Amino acid sequence: MNRHSLTRAFSLLIRRDLILAMRHRAEMVNPLLFFILVTSLFPLGIGANPNLLQAVGPGVIWVAALLAALLSLDGVFRSDFEDGTLEQYLLSSHPVSLLVLAKVLAHWLITGLPLLLISPLLGVFLGLPPAGIRILFITLLLGTPVLSLIGAVGVALTVGLRKGGMILSLLVLPLYIPLLIFASSAVDTAAAGLSVTAHLSLIAALLVLALSLSPFATAAALRISLS
């Protein structure tokens, strides 16, 4: 295996996915709009009491991010599955886990990054203090890759199924729960003015765990789904 060709394959995959996404720019906006919409639903649903909104704000934004990520995940492997490219990944001489990593990185750039960038605005919507918004940004920076990585395993398991989308949520949402707990608690704590190093370290630990294990799990799942 040529290391030069592996890095080429890796960057080629990312570039291809980015270019494809750019061609359908309207579709890129959908998860973002969903994120903003869902977050905005909460003040409408529970009233605009600033104290209440500030109390539920971190949790609400994070739940909305989870759902938006979930919605966008289905596309990670679907088009490749449908036109047979996925089988080519498995047949190539490159380790599938690294190809998977490239796909997941591209997915994060296309969907996670926009969520991250719009989050300060949503923090303002729900009345979070500046310290809270800063930590919200950092938790999303560390956390959205985790969402993509863990989600990829679920997608790989359901890519061949007809009603894959519904089952995907059932499979993946329980796995998102620890991240949700740590992240929303971090923002709460930061809004109260306390130190959040412990929280952020835990989220970083989750990221490292996901980065090291999920590509292998995803690769194995893809092999099984395409067998």
Partner 1 sequence: MFNNFFHKLASPKHFYRIAGALIPWLAGACLLLALAGLYYGLIVAPPDYQQGDSYRIIYIHVPAAWMSLFIYMVMAAAGAIGLVWRMKLAEVIAISSAPIGASFTFVALVTGSIWGKPMWGTWWVWDARLTSELILLFLYLGVIALHGAIDDRRTAARAVAILALVGVINIPIIHYSVEWWNTLHQGPTVTKFDKPSIHISMLIPLLLMALSFKLYYACVVLMRARCEVLERERSAGWVRELVETK
Q: Which of residues 177-216 bind partner 1 (CB under 8 A)?
A: 177-178, 181-182, 185, 206, 209, 213
Per rule CB under 8 A, is residue 221 in the interface with partner 1? yes
24: helix, coil or strand? coil
Nearer to partner 1, 25 or 163 (CB): 163
Query: 187 CB contacts (<8 Å, ≥6 apart)?
Result: 57, 58, 61, 62, 128, 132, 135, 136, 139
Per rule CB under 8 A, is residue 225 in the interface with partner 1? yes
The whole-angstrom separation of Cα 149 and Cα 110 is 14
77-80's contacts with Cβ under 8 Å and 24+ in sequence apart are 77/103, 77/152, 77/155, 77/156, 77/159, 77/222, 78/159, 79/20
Per rule CB under 8 A, is residue 161 in the interface with partner 1? yes
Nearer to partner 1, 118 or 175 (CB): 175
Per rule CB under 8 A, is residue 139 in the interface with partner 1? no
Residues at the contact surface with partner 1, assessed by CB under 8 A: 153, 157-158, 160-164, 167, 170-171, 173-175, 177-178, 181-182, 185, 206, 209, 213, 217, 220-221, 224-225, 227
